[in-house]
Amino acid sequence: MRNLLLVVTALLAIAPSVRAEAADKPTLAFVTNSRTSFWRPAEAGLRKAQSELPNYRLLFRPLDEPSPAAQMRLLDELVAAGVVGIVFSPVDNKTMGATIDRLSRQATIFTMDSDIIDSERAAYFGSSNVDAGRQAGLLLRKALPAGAKCMGFVGLLEATNAQNRVLGMREALKGSMVELVDVLGDDFDKARARRNVLDTLSGRPEITCMVGFYDYNTPVILEALAEAGRLGQVKVVAFDEETATLKGIKDGTVLGTIVQQAYEWGYLSMLSMARFLEGRKSFLPPNGRILLPTRVIDKDNVDPYWTELKAMLCCLPTARETKR
């Protein structure tokens, strides 16, 4: 997988520079599925891409309301404003496919983070969420050889990335005594996410393990466990690199986390969109999917990874997250 990333980067680096157009610069947009700190590395990557694409205007657009209707409105507004290429993370794999098909007649559409394969999107940049789920499942198997019953927590139950992470985890847990009993969704509502954890603690005493499938889920899990006096008693596995998650790995309250390459999503997807619009498509595999490998972060490598992350985010303006 690392070799694939190097090949894509090399192909983009040697492609001829974008030709300036007589009219205004063509605009490309990167649209998220939420306004959370998970997207900060992607924003940093987009800023790097902007420095290498002076003849394009790049927009970073967080989604304030994580719903299909809100995302459709934002995408429609961007296309109506003349945006020629959009890279976005679909909030729902059941309804957004039709939106992609409709908008692809007016602009070039890439998905990232969560793919919709049976749509007319031109490419996908992101992770293999099945593989990421498997990595998390192997963490649980290693840490809990005697077995455990686990509850999962996620933002969007209908998103492909969430469903594939769950699928991968269940595959990895087959044949072990660790079971993922259920997964509870919260639609990025942190108050609801907290209630899900507290209700599980009070109503499901057999649960001794919890999985935060989205970035903010693990910090919410840790807060609820501390409130209930169960911090350190319930094993926790995470996804992504929230500060509370990395601190939890250091202090032993989190077994580990699976991190993605969101910086490269922002960087490579923008460079690739520009080349694609020029007709330079040789970097794409036949299925249009550019998969960047996920990494396991645990107590053995959390310090160097955290240093790397801080350097990546050093120059971004202060973030504003949606408060719900």
Half-sphere exposure of 224 (CA within 13 A, CB side): 24
Both structure tokens of 76: 């429609």
Please determine, looking at this structure, whether the domain spanning 2-127+261-293 carries the CATH number 3.20.20.10: no
- Give Cβ neighbours of residue 304 (< 8 Å, ≥ 6 apart): none
pLDDT of residue 244: 97
Q: What is the pLDDT of residue 306?
A: 93
Distance CA 227, CA 148 (A): 22
Same-fold call for 2-127+261-293 versus 129-259: yes
Q: What is the pTM of this model?
A: 0.82
Per-residue confidence in pLDDT tens, the chain, 324 aa: 444 444 455 444 433 333 333 358 999 999 999 998 899 999 999 999 999 999 999 999 999 998 999 999 999 999 999 999 999 999 988 889 999 999 999 999 999 998 998 999 999 999 999 999 999 999 999 999 999 999 999 999 988 899 999 999 999 999 999 999 999 999 999 999 999 999 999 999 999 999 999 999 999 999 999 999 999 999 999 999 999 999 999 999 999 999 999 999 999 999 999 999 999 999 899 999 999 999 999 999 999 999 998 888 876 665 454 433
Confidence (pLDDT) at 291? 93
The correct answer on CATH 3.20.20.70 for the domain covering 129-259 is: no
pLDDT value at residue 2? 43
CB 305, CB 140: distance < 8 Å? no
Neighbours of 8 (CB within 10 A): 20
Residue 274's H or E segment, with its range, is helix 262-277
Question: How far apart are the C-alpha atoms of 236 and 234, rounded to whole Å?
Answer: 6
- Domain residue extents for the chain: 2-127+261-293, 129-259
**pLDDT at position 318:** 56
Run of H or E residues at 277: helix 262-277
